[in-house]
Amino acid sequence: VICYIGIGSNLDNRRKNILRAIGLLKKDKNIKLIKKSRLYETNPLAGPAQGKYLNAVLKIETVYSPHTLLDKFKAIESALGRRSSSIKWSARTIDLDILFYGKRIIKSKKLTIPHPEIKNRIFVLKPLTEIAPGLIHPVFRKTAKRLLKEYCIPHKK
């Protein structure tokens, strides 16, 4: 199954954290890295005051189920020293989010796919459009490029 993954870091050596996470993903025989966007430096969106992020989006292929993939990502996050915080959207050494899992729409206690915040997050839409401009969001039925364009619409006078 083709999946798109959001990756971000705003603590310690951000670039190193992201490269290490990608290295661990590549090591997994059940995950194939197909494409990766550039790294983007982005202002923190939501949450308490915190430093800027580096963000990227990856295209992978995997045979893991969505929940197994989530568990693998959590294992990589803790291997890279991510501390669990009670504060929502606080600073983190590494964050791996499943954005899309094929065309599947999933709503479980642990997992909402597509990721519910995609359309509100420039730090996802920009790198996603770089690597997959024509990718269609299975809920909104719009391409990544279109969602990026709609993120900020000029207002008529």
Q: How far apart (Å, rounded) are the C-alpha atoms in residues 61 and 59?
A: 7
Taking the CA of residue 135 as centre, how many other CA atoms within 13 Å lie in the half-sphere pointing to its CB?
Answer: 25
Q: Catalytic annotation on 97?
A: yes
Residue with tokens 């294992």: 75
Catalytic choice (38, 95, 104, 121): 95
30 binds, among ligand PH2, Mg ion, none (CB under 5 to 8 A by kind): none
55 binds, among ligand PH2, Mg ion, none (CB under 5 to 8 A by kind): ligand PH2
Residues between 78 and 117 that touch ligand PH2 (CB under 6 A): 89, 95
Q: Catalytic annotation on 92?
A: yes
Stretch that binds Mg ion, among 20-28, 35-43, 94-102, 136-144 (CB under 5 A): 94-102
97 binds Mg ion (CB under 5 A): yes
**SS3 per residue for the chain:** CEEEEEEEECCCCHHHHHHHHHHHHHHCCCEEEEEECCCEEECCCCCCCCCCEEEEEEEEEECCCHHHHHHHHHHHHHHCCCCCCCCCCCCCCCEEEEEEECCCCEECCCCEECCCCHHHCHHHHHHHHHHCCCCECCCCCCEHHHHHHHHCCCCCC
Among 64, 95, 124, 132, binds Mg ion (CB under 5 A): 95
Catalytic choice (12, 28, 83, 92): 92
42 binds ligand PH2 (CB under 6 A): yes
Stretch that binds ligand PH2, among 24-32, 40-48, 132-140, 148-156 (CB under 6 A): 40-48
Q: Catalytic annotation on 146?
A: no
Judged by the rule CB under 6 A, the positions of this chain that interact with ligand PH2 are: 8, 42-47, 53, 55, 89, 95, 123
* Residues forming the active site: 82, 92, 95, 97
